[in-house]
Amino acid sequence: MSRITFFISEAFRALRRSAAPSVAAIVTIVVTTLLLGVLVPVLRASESKTSDVREEIGLRVFLYPDATLPEIKKLQDEIRGIDHVEAVNYISKKEGLERLRGDLNDDLKDSLDELKSNPLPPSYEIRLDDPDYLEAVQNDLEPAGASGKPKPISPLIEDVNDRQDARQIRDVTGAVKIVLVVIAALLLVASLLLVANTIRLSIYARRREVEVMRLVGATNWFIRWPFMIEGVLVGLSGAVIAVAILTLGKVTIVDPLADNFALVDNFSTVGFLPLVVVLIASAIVVSALGSGVTLRRFLRI
Amino acid sequence: MALIGTSRRRERAAGRTRRQHEPRPPVAEPGTPVPVVELRDATVVYPGGHVALERVSLEINRGEFAFVVGPTGCGKSTLIKMLIREVEAASGKVYIAGRDIERMSDHKVPLLRRRIGTVFQDFKLLPNRTVYDNVAYALQVIGAPRSEIRQQVPEILRLVGLQAKIHNYPDQLSGGEQQRVSIARAFVNHPPLLLADEPTGNLDPETSIGIMQLLYRINRTGTTVLVVTHDSGLVDKMRRRVIALEEGRLVRDEAISGYHDESTTEFAVRMRQELGVGDEGHTNGDTH
């Protein structure tokens, strides 16, 4: 019991005395925790958004309006047989118009009503199981002919189109995914190194104390405990400050935004509470381990 | 009195066999079963191949006061480091109170160090703790109860003559006073063996006498004291046992016994005369 109080009072004494390195360590932890606290939900959100977008990627095959229904059915089965095609959806002229109507706002809807006939061709909507095979499927639908120009596999097909600039979207979202992962990894490594280094600095400043402790016969664990407790205190205070700032930011900026900003409300992001718990726990563990590992260098007998 | 809690029987057996084939140096207190320090062909090689100690054999008995002398780099400090297992012997045996410390497991080393007081030239005091806290630290670290600390620390500080400076910080003290604090810390849990590595290396002759006098007084309580110094002049005049090292080898081991009954005051007076410094009869306190 008196030992525990001794360890704790030693840890507090060390924090008080080496105020500058302690503050540096706390600030480091605040900054990295804050960065992670912002980045993790953002990453999660953009990741889920990216996945949503990628799922929409597909091909649109436009047919000549004079195609008959049996011909259409037959071609649909044929396309379904192509590798990586997940679903083929037939959209008649009428359906196409309805869809267009749904996508437009009121003014433009009115102008649609002024049309005398339906100008939209019938089409297939093709969904892929993996957007990376976009080119392959397109190539299967209109392989290059003798002249080098793409020639559709069926005379019914008037044109094959990427839906919604699918190719671009796919490339951009793929790049975004990679960039996000790289940023997250770099940040994690950087913060670990930063925390370890700050702790090393503060221990190095007190190597004399460690030397004296060893000299008078302190066991290694006896020497280690005050430093570990100090690490936990630094990690805890850093994490608490960071979480306070995060909460403030969430309440004042993100929450009001979420009410009227369409992008935010269909995020599938991480819950705030689990995020906070993970951040605090990892800040403490990293600081305590950082202290313990650094001490090893000074504790070889 | 065993230094470390170990099998008494083994110690005595070891002591008996040793006595048969090795002449022992004059014994300060007869009847001691086991030498406090015993080296047998101890060799220390530093990484890089430098041989710091080469086949050093010696025995130091309980209650002895011995000097280790030699020029810089002769292996004196290595000897001290070897005794607290700061460095390990490459070959040979190192016994502390009959216990082979080279074969001691790492986690027992702190226990060994608790039974050996160490004093260094640079004092190794913690600058941000008071005199009291510096000394108390040695007891806190070994888990002594608070009541014992509160009783022992003022007592030992009285012994070294620093009771008036109990709440001062090290940088408010003179070199001699700082060394006294360091000795108090080394001796506060009454170890049976006290090692001093150049304890007067940073001090003027007059202050040095005070420190030697203090070490001598500690020796009188039954503690074995081993003092490393390069000041062979001072040592020769004190006429104690002198162990001389040169380039890692033991070149001289002379045991002179003859001053066992003197009081510390007589000791100081005689030393002052022999060293030719003032003899106004300082007992404690240092002159600056």
Q: Do residues B97 and B2 make contact, with C-beta atoms less than 8 angstroms apart?
A: yes
| A212 contacts on B by Cβ (under 8 Å) | 124-126, 137
Q: List the structure tokens of B213.
A: 């006098």
- DSSP, res B142: T
Q: For residue B69, which of B189, B269, B227, B272 has the smallest C-alpha distance?
A: B227
Amino acid type, A241: I
Given a cut of 70, is residue B4 above it in pLDDT? Answer: no
* pLDDT score of A44: 77
Q: Is B148 on the interface with A (CB under 8 A)?
A: no
pLDDT grade for B6, boundaries at 50, 70 and 90: very low
- The reply to whether residue B114 touches residue A212, judged by beta carbons under 8 angstroms, is no
Q: Do residues B202 and B166 make contact, with C-beta atoms less than 8 angstroms apart?
A: no
Please report, rounded to a whole number, the percentage of residues in chain A having pLDDT higher than 90: 1
Sheet hosting strand B91-96, strand order edge to edge: B51-60, B37-45, B91-96, B99-100
B178, B112, B92, B244 alpha-carbon torsion, rounded to 10°: 20
Q: Do residues A166 and A59 make contact, with C-beta atoms less than 8 angstroms apart?
A: yes
* pLDDT score of B195: 95
Place of tokens 């008196």: A2
Q: Do residues A35 and A239 make contact, with C-beta atoms less than 8 angstroms apart?
A: no
Q: Which of 2.40.420.20, 3.90.180.10, 3.30.70.3040, 3.30.2130.10 would CATH assign to domain A56-164?
A: 3.30.70.3040
Given a cut of 80, is residue A151 above it in pLDDT? Answer: no
Give kind and range of the element (H or E) at residue B236: helix B232-238
Q: Is A149 on the interface with B (CB under 8 A)?
A: no
- The reply to whether residue A214 touches residue B145, judged by beta carbons under 8 angstroms, is no
- The reply to whether residue B113 touches residue A212, judged by beta carbons under 8 angstroms, is no
Q: How far apart are CA A3 and CA B85, in angstroms?
A: 26
Mean pLDDT of all residues belonging to chain B: 81
Q: Is B143 on the interface with A (CB under 8 A)?
A: yes
First vs last C-alpha separation in chain B: 40
Q: Is B85 on the interface with A (CB under 8 A)?
A: yes
Q: For residue A233, which of A18, A17, A20, A25 has the smallest C-alpha distance?
A: A25
A-to-B residue pairs, Cβ atoms closer than 8 angstroms? 49
- The reply to whether residue B141 touches residue A211, judged by beta carbons under 8 angstroms, is no
In tens, the pLDDT along A83-129 reads: 888 888 888 888 888 887 777 777 777 777 777 777 788 888 888 88
* pLDDT score of B262: 55
Rg (CA), chain B: 19
Average pLDDT value for residue range A12-40: 82
Q: Is A12 on the interface with B (CB under 8 A)?
A: no
One-character DSSP codes across A200-233: HHHHHTTHHHHHHHHHTT--HHHHHHHHHHHHHH
Mean pLDDT of all residues belonging to chain A: 78
| A209 contacts on B by Cβ (under 8 Å) | 126
- Bridge partners, B43 (sequence order): B91
Q: How far is CA A200 from CA A24, A289, A295, B161, in A?
A: 12, 11, 8, 39
Given a cut of 50, is residue A229 above it in pLDDT? Answer: yes
Give the other-Cβ count within 10 Å of A244's Cβ.
11
What is the complex's ipTM, to 2 decimals? Answer: 0.72
Q: Is A209 on the interface with B (CB under 8 A)?
A: yes
In tens, the pLDDT along B42-51 reads: 999 998 889 9
Pairing mode, strands B65-69 and B99-100: unpaired
Q: How far apart are CA B98 and CA B38, in angstroms?
A: 8
Average pLDDT value for residue range A219-244: 86
- Of B24-33, B174-183, B244-253, least confident by mean pLDDT is B24-33
Q: Which range scores top for mean pLDDT: A119-123, B75-79, B170-174?
A: B170-174
Question: A196 to chain B, minimum CA–CA distance in Å?
Answer: 25
| A6 contacts on B by Cβ (under 8 Å) | 140
Q: List the structure tokens of A270.
A: 């991480």
pLDDT grade for B277, boundaries at 50, 70 and 90: low
Where in the sequence of chain A do the CATH 3.30.70.3040 domains occur?
56-164
Instruction: Quote the pTM value.
Output: 0.67
